[in-house]
Amino acid sequence: MTWLITGGAGYIGAHVVRALAAAGEQTVVYDDLSTGSAARVPDGVPLVTGSTLDGERIARALADHEVTGVVHLAAKKQAGESVARPLRYYRENVEGLRVLLDAVTAADVASFVFSSSAAVYGMPDVELVTEDTPCLPMSPYGETKLAGEWLVRATGRATGLATASLRYFNVAGAASPDLADPGVSNLIPMVFERLTEHAPPRVFGADYDTPDGTCVRDYIHVADLAEAHVAAAQVLRSRPGRDLTLNIGRGEGVSVREMIDRVTAVTGHDLAPVTAPRRPGDPARVVASADRALTELPWKPRHDVQDMIRSAWEGWLRLHPEAAARP
């Protein structure tokens, strides 16, 4: 049983590869290295460099490594960027997935785990988002993830491919400093960047209909997210033909202001945040009900927000030693 992980050289992918290996699974990474790094691929794990748009290269990789399961993480994931470049997002995230599924079904691969996103929900007006909450994505990025779920589900029903679409909520932290997210496109690293520049963190909008006026999100440690992929992979292998769609979150909402307060406490920087204008498209609250994942998978998140912030900060300091707070 060998799992091919597309995007396995990326931030989340590198954690999934290690979690699968720790569970005794054979893996091979398929990555175009556009944002991933070969240095993140563990020794002993083969790396095939290529795009999911290259059907022949994928077919060869599936055959060469006798792949029986695929975890598909490779995608463009900047919601803001997708508004300006929708065709690039549809090409990479939807056409790339279609090409991959063509190769997967031709090679009789049995199981397929798909990286989806809470972005499919758009602006849900509920306390806790369940998998039955209407999906009204607000960005082309979110649309491509929802369309991806449709492609995956329809292919599973037509061919018997066992599928699981995992809707990630807000991913943070690192299993080790060298695996930290090198990107600065989400709250925690964006606050780190401001503190490193000795500039105050920015709160994008403090007039939302939430307890402290700032947006509320559901943060999940990347190590817990990786374990959810292992659990889903093992469930699909044991129950062919399964079709799962699962929220991967912790069910706990944390506001931007709370997060920034905790980040500054962990980092030792005591710069008070400033309020900036709202960011277009930001929902006031997106918090998961993870009940279905807890029921369907042998999985339970183990890390809290403090673990996420602390591990992310250790990773940040490894790349930005100048960020350490002055005594």
Cα 114 from chain centroid (whole Å): 10
> What's the token pair of residue 269?
């920087």
Long-range contacts of 49-53 (CB under 8 A, 24+ apart): 51/96, 52/6, 52/92, 52/96, 52/97, 52/99, 52/100, 53/91, 53/92, 53/95, 53/96, 53/99
Q: Work out whether 118 is an interface residue with ligand WQD (CB under 6 A).
A: yes
Q: Work out whether 271 is an interface residue with ligand WQD (CB under 6 A).
A: no
Task: Considering only the stretches 25-33, 114-122, 155-163, 233-241, report the one whose residues sit in contact with ligand WQD under the rule CB under 6 A.
Answer: 114-122
CA distance 167 to 220: 11
Helix (H) or strand (E) holding 72: strand 67-72
Task: Considering only the stretches 30-38, 82-90, 116-124, 220-228, report the one whose residues sit in contact with ligand WQD under the rule CB under 6 A.
Answer: 116-124
Answer for which of 282, 296, 304, 307 binds ligand WQD (CB under 6 A) is 282
Nearest residue (CB) to ligand WQD, 13 versus 47: 13
- Start-to-end C-alpha separation, the chain: 52
Nearest residue (CB) to ligand WQD, 160 versus 183: 183
> What's the token pair of residue 89?
């997002």
Q: Work out whether 255 is an interface residue with ligand WQD (CB under 6 A).
A: no
Q: Where are the alpha helices (DSSP H) in 219-299?
A: 222-238, 256-267, 291-296
Q: Work out whether 170 is an interface residue with ligand WQD (CB under 6 A).
A: yes
> What's the token pair of residue 182?
């090198």
CA distance 229 to 53: 23
Answer for which of 47, 203, 235, 308 binds ligand WQD (CB under 6 A) is 203
CA distance 184 to 243: 34
Site residue total, ligand WQD (CB under 6 A): 19
Nearest residue (CB) to ligand WQD, 98 versus 278: 278
Read off the amino acid at residue 110. Answer: A
Pairing of strands 47-49, 243-248: unpaired
Q: Among the options 121, 141, 208, 219, which is catalytic?
A: 141
Q: Work out whether 123 is an interface residue with ligand WQD (CB under 6 A).
A: no
Nearest residue (CB) to ligand WQD, 147 versus 187: 187
Q: Work out whether 77 is an interface residue with ligand WQD (CB under 6 A).
A: yes
Q: Which residues, in sequence order, are CB contacts of 152 under 8 Å at separation 6+? A: 97, 101, 112, 114, 163, 165
Helix (H) or strand (E) holding 81: helix 79-84
CA distance 45 to 323: 33
Rounded to the nearest whole angstrom, what is the least distance from the CB of residue 139 to ligand WQD in the complex?
8
Question: Among residue numbers 9 through 38, which ones bind ligand WQD (CB under 6 A)?
Answer: none
Q: How many helices (H) and strands (E) does the chain have?
A: 11, 13
Rounded to the nearest whole angstrom, what is the least distance from the CB of residue 169 to ligand WQD in the complex?
7
The CA-atom distances, in angstroms, between 93 and each of 49, 181, 211 are 17, 20, 36
Rounded to the nearest whole angstrom, what is the least distance from the CB of residue 202 to ligand WQD in the complex?
5
Nearest residue (CB) to ligand WQD, 184 versus 325: 184
Nearest residue (CB) to ligand WQD, 157 versus 198: 198
Answer for which of 26, 35, 176, 186 binds ligand WQD (CB under 6 A) is 186
Answer for which of 65, 153, 202, 242 binds ligand WQD (CB under 6 A) is 202
Give catalytic status of residue 90 as yes or no.
no
What is the set of active-site residues?
141
Task: Write out the residues near ligand WQD by the rule CB under 6 A.
Answer: 77, 79, 117-119, 168, 170, 186-187, 190-191, 202-204, 215, 217, 256, 279, 282
